[in-house]
Amino acid sequence: MTRGPTADTGGGRGRLLSGWAASSTALVGLAAFGLFAVSCSTGGTGTRDEGPAGSQPVAQATASVTAPSTVKPTPRVDAVDLLKADPRVSGRVRSDLKPCTGDEYPVDTSYGTLTDGPSADVVVNVMTCGDSVGVGTYVYRPRANGTYENVFTVEQPSVYGTIDRGDLVVTTQVYGTKDAVAYPSGEEVITYHWAGSRFTEEDRVHNDFNRAVGTGDGEFPAPAEPTKN
């Protein structure tokens, strides 16, 4: 009796199991590789997320350059000593130059650029102690050796000098014959500009004050009496 083919219960089944195991191992390896790739691309632990290295331009840091300052040094000076040692200051101003209280002199000092010297120029205004009326304005230009030269002098009642955008502006009150010191009739405003080695007048403005508010003799009128109903 001839027997038909029989199922392979030995080597054939073993080869099948062996092939399945190998396939399973390969699938597990591929899965592990996929997980590793995902973790590297999203974890931010060193692997670039944007693509291959070198595909993005690298920003270059540019060092900032600070322009040199044009502000001149401002050494402080003793304005009173400058005035007392200056032969261009009149004897009258020097003799009246005394402290008002304690060691406070009636002197205003301003520093700024007027003459394009090696450091800041000095504008000195001398006033009276009682009513602070200007009696003299002086401009001192610095020398390279640290001393100062008087390059401008005005001595007259109610004068005052200031620095305005590189120019010297001198204001002088104008008085009528009956004007009180506190109530001038007007003022002269003169602008000087440094040209070469001296100041030259650049502009002049005259202002007349309204006299309708006063009595004409330099005094304000007395207040009017209130009207009774």
State both tokens at 197: 């080695």
- Angle of CA points 71, 77, 79, to nearest 5°: 125
* Contact by Cβ (8 Å): 211, 185: yes
CA distance 92 to 100: 16
Give per-residue pLDDT as tens, 94-105: 999 999 999 999
Give per-residue pLDDT as tens, 152-174: 999 998 999 999 999 999 999 99
pLDDT band at residue 13 under the 50/70/90 scheme: very low
* Contact by Cβ (8 Å): 25, 18: no
CA distance 109 to 127: 11
Please say if the pLDDT value at position 218 is more than 60: no
Give per-residue pLDDT as tens, 23-69: 444 444 444 444 444 444 444 444 344 445 455 555 555 555 555 55
Residue ranges per domain, the chain?
79-213
124: left (phi over 0), alpha (psi -120 to 50) or beta: beta
Interval 190-197 mean pLDDT: 94
> What predicted TM-score, i.e. pTM, was given to this entire model?
0.62
